[in-house]
């Protein structure tokens, strides 16, 4: 039966109980006090999170370590882990609407997008790694014939995952699913403003049969709970998606503690490059708007720098502005809303600060630039286009993580490539051209983990997401992700 607005409204009225930590298979209060969760939809208090103190984090990592060492999961046959992860995927599907609504209530993503990108994607990710795990083989090395050298792939041990608030279930699953599939234990630290759907996922994981201690969740402030986790000597691998500032800290914590491996996905300032010979400039203009404004720009691969060939710049910006004016922000729980809420007041104020700096530096606002729907008490912003942005401007260099698009003209392909690469980031890019040769030259030339051609933002679980430059290291998604959660061991046998 098709999902109706009434179904969503009913779920959205449910009272959310005070949340707890999941440690060693039991739900308990944290000793770091409680923090309020505010609704980005109306600014009101939704519920409270329990904050895990350093002592709670130590118990969670110790539980994960015990579970790993005694083999309750790590030494289960791959087919056994596969069956459990398939059950979890089925449970996510069964509770998809509930999970999506819960997630939107604390993170603010428009529900139409959340339904696909959150439970839909998470279930698919668990299925993908469940299916992968009994198909990944070790190797026999091509040594001399008097030796047999076997290369084993082993789970690393305890994986800590610290995740952000923009797509908690999707990004969480990208890390939890391959980590669990390969036999590791996991301690998850969700973002303060997007913990609810992941805590519900943890309940479903227990119901699916993930043994106690194998999957633990500690909520709380980054500087307390996250820091304790990152400094833990019980954590072997840290996987993270979030800001560059926190990524840098995680590398320092690793150096200060046990040299745990750190895999970081740190966002971007992704160029979307439109050449005058694009096959359909109107389609490109609509796609360029969606590439930055869906989920209020809170997308790590968002096309936040639009580079347009000067000969079509004014016409393109006019079409872009027309497409953008149709993307009005609204209540993210309404099925027809295309741009939801900004996650928090801090984030909204940061977005507006970027716009103020951009105008001071000589950029020109074409649409938006202001807070919207303030009377609701929620955090909304009008999709904002700024033209005349130069590489030395703050809006060109720094990630906003909000609905603000920087537009810059270029003359020719060489300048387009130079401008595209004039960034410390290297996560994603788009190129619009009818020339196959030009498209391939740009794909080769742009330093980013993905280059979209004549589209923007397409992806699925079969391809890696990995940042170049200061966008990070290591891959989420695809079989390549398994490398982060396993290590190689050689057995050298003299025959």
Whether the Cβ atoms of residue 273 and residue 430 lie closer than 8 Å to each other: yes
For ligand ADP, the closer CB: 183 or 340 = 340
Report, in Å, the least distance between residue 462 CB and ligand ADP.
Answer: 26
For ligand ADP, the closer CB: 226 or 457 = 226
Work out the end-to-end distance of the chain between its first and last CA atoms, rounded to an integer number of angstroms: 64
For ligand ADP, the closer CB: 183 or 226 = 226
Report, in Å, the least distance between residue 247 CB and ligand ADP.
Answer: 7
Those residues with Cβ within 8 angstroms of residue 452's Cβ, 6 or more apart along the chain or in another chain: 428, 429, 430, 431, 458
Q: Distance between CA 78 and CA 83 in Å, rounded? A: 9
Q: What radius of gyration do the chain's Cα atoms show? A: 23
Catalytic residue among 59, 300, 319, 399: 300
Establish whether 300 is a catalytic residue: yes
Establish whether 262 is a catalytic residue: no
Report helix, strand or coil for 363. Answer: coil
Report, in Å, the least distance between residue 350 CB and ligand ADP.
Answer: 9
Q: Give the interface with ligand ADP as residue ranges (CB under 6 A).
A: 162-164, 189, 191-192, 222-223, 226-227, 230, 242-243, 246, 249
Catalytic residue among 192, 265, 319, 399: 265
Q: Distance between CA 258 and CA 418 in Å, rounded? A: 40
Nearest CA-CA partner of 270 in 158, 392, 403, 420:
420
- What would the two tokens of residue 457 be? 């933002």
Whether the Cβ atoms of residue 16 and residue 48 lie closer than 8 Å to each other: no
For ligand ADP, the closer CB: 130 or 170 = 170
For ligand ADP, the closer CB: 113 or 230 = 230
Report, in Å, the least distance between residue 223 CB and ligand ADP.
Answer: 5
Those residues with Cβ within 8 angstroms of residue 265's Cβ, 6 or more apart along the chain or in another chain: 240, 241, 242, 300, 427, 465, 466, 467, 471, 472, 474, 476
Residues marked as catalytic: 265, 300
């Amino acid at each position: 039966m098709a999902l109706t607005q009434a179904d969503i409204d009913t779920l959205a009225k449910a009272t959310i109980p005070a949340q707890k930590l999941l440690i060693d298979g039991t739900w308990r209060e944290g000793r770091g006090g409680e923090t309020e969760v505010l609704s980005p939809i109306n600014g009101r208090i939704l519920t409270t999170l329990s904050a895990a103190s350093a002592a709670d984090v130590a118990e969670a990592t110790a539980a994960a370590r015990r579970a790993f060492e005694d083999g309750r999961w790590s030494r289960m046959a791959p087919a056994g882990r596969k069956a459990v992860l398939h059950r979890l995927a089925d449970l996510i599907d069964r509770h998809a609407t509930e999970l999506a609504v819960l997630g939107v209530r604390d993170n603010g993503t428009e529900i139409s997008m959340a339904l696909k990108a959150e439970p839909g994607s998470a279930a698919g990710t668990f299925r993908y790694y469940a299916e992968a795990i009994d198909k990944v083989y070790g190797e026999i090395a091509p040594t001399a014939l008097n030796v047999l050298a076997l290369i084993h792939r082993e789970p690393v041990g305890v994986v800590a995952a610290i995740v952000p608030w923009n797509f908690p279930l999707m990004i969480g699953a990208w890390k939890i699913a391959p980590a669990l599939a390969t036999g590791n234990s996991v301690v998850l630290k969700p973002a303060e403003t997007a913990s609810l759907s992941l805590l519900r996922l943890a309940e479903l994981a227990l119901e699916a049969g993930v043994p106690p201690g194998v999957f633990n969740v500690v909520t709380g402030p980054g500087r307390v709970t996250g820091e304790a986790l990152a400094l833990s000597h019980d954590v072997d691998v840290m996987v993270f998606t979030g800001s560059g500032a926190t990524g840098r800290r995680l590398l320092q914590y690793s150096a200060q503690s046990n040299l745990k491996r750190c895999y970081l996905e740190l966002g971007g300032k992704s160029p979307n490059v439109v050449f005058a010979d694009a096959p359909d400039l109107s389609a490109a203009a609509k796609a360029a708007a969606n590439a930055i404004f869906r989920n209020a720009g809170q997308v790590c691969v968002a096309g936040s720098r639009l580079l347009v060939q000067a000969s079509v710049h004014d016409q393109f910006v006019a079409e872009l502005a027309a497409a953008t004016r149709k993307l009005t922000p609204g209540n993210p729980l309404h099925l027809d809303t295309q741009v939801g809420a900004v996650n928090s007041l801090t984030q909204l104020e940061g977005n507006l600060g970027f716009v103020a700096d951009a105008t001071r530096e000589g950029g020109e606002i074409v649409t938006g630039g202001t807070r919207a729907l303030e009377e609701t008490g929620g955090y909304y912003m009008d999709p904002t286009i700024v033209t005349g942005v130069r590489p030395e401007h703050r809006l060109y260099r720094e990630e906003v993580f909000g609905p603000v698009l920087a537009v810059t003209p270029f003359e020719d392909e060489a300048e387009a490539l130079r401008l595209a690469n004039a960034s410390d980031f290297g996560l994603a890019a788009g190129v619009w051209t009818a020339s196959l040769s030009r498209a391939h030259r740009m794909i080769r030339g742009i330093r980013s983990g993905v280059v979209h051609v004549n589209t923007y933002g397409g992806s699925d679980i079969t391809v890696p997401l990995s940042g170049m430059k200061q966008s990070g290291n290591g891959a989420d998604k695809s079989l390549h992700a398994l490398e982060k959660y396993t290590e190689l061991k050689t057995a050298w046998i003299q025959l």
